[in-house]
Structure 1
Amino acid sequence: MPAAAQAADAAKPADKAIQSAGGKAQGEAVFSTGVAKGRDRLDSATSTSALRASEFETYGARSLGEVLRNIPGIRAEYAIGEGNANYSIRGLPLSSTGSKYVQLQEEGLPVLEFGDLYLFGTDMFMRADLNISQIETIRGGSASTFASNSPGGVINLISKTGDSEGGAVQATYGLGYGEKRVDGAYGGKISDTLRFHVGGFYRQGEGPRDVGYTAYKGGQLKANITKTFDNGYVRIYGKYLNDRTPNYQFVPIKVSGTNADPTYSAPANFDPKTDSLLSRYTTNVIRLDENNNLTQSDARGGQHAVVKSVGLDAQFDVKGWTITEKFRFSDVGGSNQTVRPIAVNQASVLAVANGGVGSMLSYATGPQAGQAITSPATLNGNGLLTSSLQFGTKIKSLDNVTNDIRASRVWDINGGDLTTTAGFYASSQDYAMDMAFLNVLASVAGNGQSTLINTKTAAGVPFTQDGYIAYSIGNTHRRNYDMNYGVNAPYASINYRIGKIAVGGSLRYDMGKVRGTLYGAELGGGLPATTSFDMNRDGVISTAETKVSYLPLGQPGHVDYDYNYLSYSTGLNYRVAEQLAVFGRYSRGGRASADRILFTPAVNYKTGKLVDDASAYDTVKQLELGLKYRIAGLTFNATGFSAKTGERNTQVSSGADGQAQVVNIVRGYEAKGVELEAAVRKGPFSVTAGATYTDAKITSDASRPELVGNKPRHQADFIYSVTPQVELKSVTFGANVIGTTSSYAQDTNQLKLPGYKLVNAFVQVRPTERVQLMLNVNNLFNKLALIDSEQPAIPASGVVLGRAYLGRTASATLRYTF
């Protein structure tokens, strides 16, 4: 497991030295993310981990979420695919989507300022490939004061910089599923003072779930060049990402038994472990654009991330001061399109709901388009239909500019080291996007064969058109955003270390400016939310065409408010011995509310001001007590924690009628527990492990006081990962095991999601010095592991909408190192 592997003196010879910010090899475990100055972790009152590329490649991870799931304290829900996974740390709530309290970074700067932008999580714009040297994480602690909007922690992907001459090229092939991928990387010296690194990947294929089309297509290219001087370095780097991945949403899953002891299983002819409701027959998206003109797109575009960025990283020692400057500009675009079911039931039931008693069904798309469905009860062997949303979401701009400059100096005071740091952070984050949610009726078929379905009333009048129930979902989610979020944050820290004791503290003052304009059905000023529009241009307005969402362009909503808040952190570290340290820390951090309070009553859209200033940000207060132990061949870290969180958010869940509902949340939480991390190495054998025990509860809720005392949804008491492996001269083999105890599907604490244990096996064979063949098998025993259910209790239909991790998948990789 992550950090602990430092004790093992590295699993791979090439990884015995870790690059510092300047690219120099360090013999000891120096950590630099979310702290004032890089130092040995046993001298820092923080809980941190560093995961090397050579470690996480053994997991067979197909997404960043699968990598991060193995870091202690991090809760990752990644069944959605590659991008838009959910991340939290140490019991902090996952009441919605994304990574609200956790900031994801590359090269020490945020990829997006806010980790939970609606439908666009930060990890959608990041990829782990051969460019990565290591992933550093800090949980709690000084993350509150050395980064904005990160009170829970920081996860930082650090690239190789050419410090070690050489490179590699590898090809990966999905065994039994459609994926072909090529990776390459190379770095080295151009001169004694100039070095470079360049790398990337390209891949294409259907992917591990059956969707019936090429769902993965694209790649990434990253490069950097570093000039070193006697007193520092300057690095310029760039990234181009253009990658398309599917957005795997909820699927029907059968459930029997009781809420407290449910049994989940697959519907006939549909496997939640390998199937998806994505299909070539459900991809045509027809809607009105931001100017209320007819437009068409293709849901096969999925999560399409396009990033063009350039950055500067520099550090110099000047007259006793260390000056560090980090800057990056990112041009971020793309889209997010998919199919998301909001209700599932027998075909006959949904036919009545969408056409009345005696309604008739027929195929709207697919090979049988136009044919009547004479036996709804046996449709696709399971007799199920879904009322689903088609997401048509386009990024106009997620561009961001970030700059972080700091100065540090170590002073000799009475025989001790006094480290002072002062810095200033500034960022500008655009949030401009066009969103439309449309309502379709779809069948449930495996192997990418789902189709849209039409209904007619008993009198033969079409209720749907081409599978569309409505070109809207009532008066909501037809939105257009044109926002900008500015953040300026001065910060400072002081740390005094003398003998075995180090004590310090840090402050950060965030000042935010939020400006923008919104258009949406909810802001129509009393105008109707839908209109009639001839969507298929046949000259006739059908029933579905009377329910077309549009933007009330003459009724904009204005957003114009400022906010500020103070974050602080203080800690004490006592190095009991060379091998042992204990620490304590208390921190308070903030998280700006960003887009999650838009289209809610939190803003007066005529003036643009907040109705209540408290809506501008949420706070997290954390207490940590920890122990770190390190000797040759063994590392053990333990951290007890207690956290109190306030939150304003929106949550999508299922109402009593089975339809999706959007709930505004104003809530408080508490969590306490312990986080463990360990690594042991003896000869060729090593094992790394991490575990987190969490006792969390809802402490307040403004609109649903009956939830007070309940456990937050999806929060298991115990999550863990264990990776034993044997490394011989020509072969390495082992397993990566991840698991969790049971949790509740929703905050009402009725329906349980069973605990699970997933075993991922790996073997690496090195027939020659430069050649390596890797075989990875994920979910070796093909277990059904659920992370989600929209329904809070078992419905009368016995079918819920849930998300499950992939079943057994295997891949083979051939690598040549040079």
Structure 2
Amino acid sequence: MATEGKGDPAADPATAPAPARKAFSTGVAKGRDLLDTAISASVIDEADLGKISASSVAGIMQNIPGIRAETSDIDGFSSITVRGLPLAADGSKFLQIQEDGLPVLEFGDLHFASADQFIRADLSLSQVQAIRGGSASTFASNSPGGVVNLISKTGETAGGTVQVSSGLGHDLKRIDFEYGSPLGDGWRFHVGGFYRQGEGPREIGYDGFRGGQIKLNVTRQFANGFIRFYGKYLDDRQPNYSLAPVQLTGTDNAPVLTDIAGNSMRGDAYESQNTARYIGLDQNNNRTSIDARNGLRGVTKSIGFEAQFDVAGWSVTNKFRFADISGEYNEAISMVTAPGAAIAALFGGPGATLSYASGAKAGQAISSPATLNGNGLLAFSIRINGKTSSLDNATNDLRASRVWNVGDGRLTTTAGIYSASQAVDMYWNFTNSINDLAGGGNNALVNLTSAGGTPLTENGIYSYGFGFGVPLAEYHNRYDLNYRILAPYGSLNYQVGKIAIGGSLRYDRGSVSGNVFSGSYGGGRISSAIIDVNGDGAVSVPETKVAILPLTQPAVVDYDYDYLSYSAGVNYRVAEPLSVFARYSRGGRANAERILGAASLNPASGALIDPSTAFGYVKQAEAGLKYRKDGLTAYVTGFWASTGERNYQIGADATGQVIVIPIDRTYSARGVEFEGEVRHGPFALTLGATWTKASIDKDRTDPALEGNHPRHIPSLSFQARPQVELARVTLGAVVNGTTSSFAQDTNILKQPGYVLVSPFVQFRPVDRVQIGINAFNVFNKLAIVQIASAAIPASGLANAQVMNGRTVTGSLRFSF
């Protein structure tokens, strides 16, 4: 959204006034009008959040120009990037997600624990502010691409809201509330939160959504500043709408995705009530029960304070938060999808037979695999359970700013110091199993028996580890790490007349310590064993293939790093409604647990084999024009960015087989962003578009990829929100679209683009009451997030992740 603040709630809605300007405060030294800053930034206000038919943080971010968010509108399984920087892996490596000015997690791309899994959007939000590039490099650690900050309401005016909503045509109930008020003698407070429960918009056979959050803040205002105390409790579960098998035909340049018989890409999920529960080992190699119905679970208990005071001409601000964070990640992915008879022969040998292991038909033989569920298919799956015991973090950001009169201008100086401690205590468990593709939330586990009558599976489980085409204990890891960061920073900005020139520096020092438990480091470390996992006193075939952790032989992690980030820009206010700017920045980004593989770490000393893998830089240049007058706003920014990337990417080969690809590359991207708004009487139109041309400049692992386009980066993405606001009715639509992109970096298979239209209607029959209807993807278009194949496989079967189909939600809101 191109506007910068909220309109006067007392104004007549029929006149659709331009919202009052509000200072932008995210990723900058001091809050200013956007036309006086050399940055590219956007704001989505609370009034507009209710019009976006998305509840997830990543879904909201899809409506910000320059940001590429791949999501199925769930919090946790997403990939987020900015301005063509690579989507080499999941999470948000280059863009930091903040809540009230402090990071949700220090690293946004932790395996199976991305930052958006631990934050929610609800009625307690006042604004979503986003900065792309620019001073984000120096006013936050590990955020060279930008910052998205979710800002809470703080109770300046008395009043509240209660809203109940329900899926229309699907089972999901939700209640939101918020209330704030001054308390007298300078005190005020705000409290808000939500609770939801239901199966959700896709058929899975159980309540995939369960939980909510509550937030509270109390502020004491003084003559020269304020102090605010706040807390949050979040415990929420969501299903993981990840990859699922589809039919893939057509040509690599124009692929056609269709549903497998009995299955719906947009209406089903791979997980079901019949496959969700299974057994395995915990991080102490003890028997445990796993319930994948927990899906993507985020638990956060946080407390903090923010204080700002004017002292001797200085504006001093301190923000502190401690967050106790834990959670769980569950995902099931088909590694091989094939006719039932082929699966039986491949994994059981000639003459192997099949039978149901779960569901209503448990124990029954599958006598005719070719006609099974009308599609004749079975899937050999990898099941992932990531247990996050602790992602606790403590962060403190202290800064002081002062404005000096120097000559005919004003010099703003800022100095600050940021400190953080981020724990990473997590355990990954992988299990191979076989299941059918019944669809409709009824997928069931399948047992396999050899021709000689030997059971080769146990309750559908083939091995307690990878066990097929990959070493049994590959990625079977436990991390117990701590990252400590200390970062002093400072900035200068001199404004004289119409021109402002500024620059900033940040010096990050990091210290990493702890242990990794994994058999992949060798050195005699035991990584597998024969264990009676189910405790029945007998050892089955799967129980001879059990991945374990070498608990007495941890790999030591002990290394330090440091890097310097900088940014400099100039802004020229040509006239009251017009300004131009230019900026160059270099920002660093430390790497977290993804670099701690056997080839990267000396497990005895804890040092990195190549110290340069500890962090990387993003270099960016941008220049733009900003215009705002009466009912017209237009921001245009040209950008260039370059970065190196050392990572591991989960991809797929030409057969659709899931593979892990090591990455050691240099990327670049250039493009143009546009953000605008037109208001006239009751009519308003908000527009956004990003044109990007990205390239793999150098690939040290596979030089054949040099010059290719990075995967999942379209040439054009765009957003639009036309609306009409009358006295009693507001109606409009949110339009999101993208052109095609490549499924993998090999640039063979193209992912089709899409345009989604999501209309909304808000009807106010009487004062303080609003009835709303939001219809996401009203035309039920197929919107592809990712295709896990490098080319159309000969089998015509591949995995794909898609956005939800038509999803209609009704709501009733009461304001008081």
TM-score range, shorter chain: over 0.9
Q: Which residue of 1 aligns with 2:72?
A: 79
Q: Which residue of 2 aligns with 1:807?
A: 805
Matches of 1:272 and 1:482, distance apart in 2: 37
Letter in 2 for 1:297: I
Matches of 1:28 and 1:395, distance apart in 2: 42
Change in CA separation of 1:460 and 1:11 when aligned onto 2, cut-off 3 Å: farther
Letter in 1 for 2:809: S
Matches of 1:285 and 1:560, distance apart in 2: 36
Give the alignment partner of residue 217 of structure 1, picking from 188, 193, 210: 210
The reply to whether residue 226 of structure 1 matches residue 228 of structure 2 is no
Q: How does 1:580-659 map to 2 (within 5 A)?
A: 580-655=578-653, 658-659=656-657
Deviation at 1:539, TM superposition (A): 2.7
User: Could you say what secondary structure the match of 1:55 adopts?
Assistant: helix
User: Could you say what secondary structure the match of 1:545 adopts?
Assistant: helix
Q: How does 1:16-415 map to 2 (within 5 A)?
A: 27-79=20-72, 81-415=74-408
TM-score, scaled to structure 2? 0.97
Q: Deviations over 1:95-141 (max 9, x none)?
A: 10000000000010001000001100111110100100001000000
User: Could you say what secondary structure the match of 1:478 adopts?
Assistant: coil
In angstroms, what is the RMSD of aligned CA positions?
A: 1.5
Deviation at 1:298, TM superposition (A): 0.6
Matches of 1:547 and 1:251, distance apart in 2: 26
Kept in 2: contact 1:285–1:392 (CA 8 A): no
Deviation at 1:552, TM superposition (A): 1.1
Consecutive unaligned residues of structure 1, counting only runs of 5 or more, are 17-25
**Count of residues in Structure 1 that have an aligned counterpart in Structure 2:** 806
Q: Which residue of 2 aligns with 1:463?
A: 456
Matches of 1:376 and 1:686, distance apart in 2: 57
User: Could you say what secondary structure the match of 1:60 adopts?
Assistant: coil
Q: Deviations over 1:473-521 (max 9, x none)?
A: 1131211110000110000000000001000100000000000101012
Deviation at 1:797, TM superposition (A): 1.0
Q: Deviations over 1:354-402 (max 9, x none)?
A: 1112221111111111111112122111122222122222111110000
Change in CA separation of 1:416 and 1:15 when aligned onto 2, cut-off 3 Å: farther
User: Could you say what secondary structure the match of 1:365 adopts?
Assistant: coil
Deviation at 1:544, TM superposition (A): 1.2
Matches of 2:435 and 2:757, distance apart in 1: 34
Deviation at 1:6, TM superposition (A): 4.0
Give the alignment partner of residue 571 of structure 1, picking from 569, 572, 586: 569
Deviates more, 1:532-541 or 1:702-711: 532-541
TM-score, scaled to structure 1? 0.97
Q: Which residue of 2 aligns with 1:696?
A: 694
Q: Deviations over 1:422-467 (max 9, x none)?
A: 0000000000011111111111121100011111122222221111
Matches of 1:285 and 1:148, distance apart in 2: 40
Q: Which residue of 2 aligns with 1:547?
A: 545
Matches of 2:517 and 2:244, distance apart in 1: 31
Letter in 1 for 2:195: Y
Deviation at 1:12, TM superposition (A): 5.9
User: Could you say what secondary structure the match of 1:66 adopts?
Assistant: helix
Q: How does 1:785-796 map to 2 (within 5 A)?
A: 785-796=783-794
Matches of 1:27 and 1:630, distance apart in 2: 12
Matches of 1:124 and 1:185, distance apart in 2: 22
Q: Which residue of 1 aligns with 2:680?
A: 682
User: Could you say what secondary structure the match of 2:642 adopts?
Assistant: strand
Matches of 2:636 and 2:10, distance apart in 1: 28
Deviation at 1:658, TM superposition (A): 4.2
Matches of 1:528 and 1:600, distance apart in 2: 15
Kept in 1: contact 2:4–2:23 (CA 8 A): no
Letter in 2 for 1:578: E
Deviation at 1:195, TM superposition (A): 0.5
Change in CA separation of 1:527 and 1:559 when aligned onto 2, cut-off 3 Å: closer
Kept in 2: contact 1:12–1:54 (CA 8 A): no
Letter in 1 for 2:725: E
Give the alignment partner of residue 665 of structure 1, picking from 643, 663, 666: 663
Matches of 2:551 and 2:523, distance apart in 1: 11
Deviates more, 1:783-792 or 1:668-677: 783-792
Matches of 1:630 and 1:386, distance apart in 2: 56
Matches of 2:360 and 2:744, distance apart in 1: 39
Deviates more, 1:507-516 or 1:341-350: 341-350
Kept in 1: contact 2:526–2:549 (CA 8 A): no
Q: Deviations over 1:144-181 (max 9, x none)?
A: 00000000000000000001210000100111111110
Matches of 2:506 and 2:730, distance apart in 1: 46
Kept in 1: contact 2:55–2:73 (CA 8 A): no
Q: Which residue of 2 aligns with 1:748?
A: 746
Deviation at 1:198, TM superposition (A): 0.4
Deviation at 1:287, TM superposition (A): 1.1
The reply to whether residue 445 of structure 1 matches residue 438 of structure 2 is yes
Q: Which residue of 2 aligns with 1:19?
A: none
Deviation at 1:659, TM superposition (A): 3.4
Deviates more, 1:621-630 or 1:79-88: 79-88
Deviates more, 1:434-443 or 1:399-408: 434-443
Kept in 2: contact 1:11–1:55 (CA 8 A): no
Deviation at 1:29, TM superposition (A): 3.1
Deviation at 1:530, TM superposition (A): 1.8
Matches of 1:704 and 1:13, distance apart in 2: 61
Q: Which residue of 2 aligns with 1:710?
A: 708
Matches of 1:350 and 1:694, distance apart in 2: 43
Deviation at 1:702, TM superposition (A): 1.6
Q: Deviations over 1:170-228 (max 9, x none)?
A: 10011111111011100011004110000111111001110000111111000001001
Matches of 1:27 and 1:786, distance apart in 2: 38
Tell me the percent identity: 52
Matches of 2:238 and 2:230, distance apart in 1: 25
Q: Deviations over 1:275-302 (max 9, x none)?
A: 0111111112311112211111211011
User: Could you say what secondary structure the match of 2:669 adopts?
Assistant: strand
Which stretches of structure 1, 4 residues or more, deviate above 6 A after TM superposition?
A: none
Deviates more, 1:82-91 or 1:219-228: 82-91
Kept in 2: contact 1:74–1:89 (CA 8 A): yes
Matches of 1:13 and 1:600, distance apart in 2: 62
Matches of 1:441 and 1:715, distance apart in 2: 34
User: Could you say what secondary structure the match of 1:354 adopts?
Assistant: helix
Kept in 1: contact 2:231–2:303 (CA 8 A): yes
User: Could you say what secondary structure the match of 2:746 adopts?
Assistant: coil
Q: Deviations over 1:227-255 (max 9, x none)?
A: 01110000001100011111122111111
